[in-house]
Amino acid sequence: ARAPRESHTTLVAVATNAALSKTRCAVVARMAQAGLARAVHPAFTSADGDVVFVLASGGEAASDDAVGVIAAEAVADAIRDAVRRATSRGGVPDMRTPGARSPDDPAWSSG
């Protein structure tokens, strides 16, 4: 296993109009972490502060599983989209840097 070279933190906020209690929001947050792990490698190391928060407005009845599955997909998609749109700053390369791998490449999230 490769050790993380630097610490990086990814903060995720999932907002839904589902009627979820605090406990059910925690279930959805655990499921949404899968999306972060699909798009960031390595994720949840001891050197970073990766975290997922879930906010629910309570408007619609919904199953935890349905919201969690959708949240995981949305999180992974949002992270990949952010990487595609990011621009270089402070010497940190972006997707236009020669040799950069695309987040659409299946090997991208495997390091």
Model pLDDT for residues 18-64, shown as the tens digit of each residue: 999 999 999 999 999 999 999 988 888 888 889 999 999 989 999 99
Q: Where are the domains of the chain?
A: 11-84
Q: Which CATH superfamily is domain 11-84 in?
A: arginine biosynthesis bifunctional protein suprefamily (3.30.2330.10)
Token pair belonging to 44: 């949840």
| pLDDT beyond 70 at 79 | yes
Three-class secondary structure of residue 69 per DSSP: helix
| pLDDT beyond 60 at 1 | no
Q: Considering the entire predicted model, what is its pTM?
A: 0.80
| pLDDT beyond 90 at 81 | yes
Cα 36 to chain centroid, rounded:
3
pLDDT attached to residue 111: 47
| pLDDT beyond 70 at 5 | no
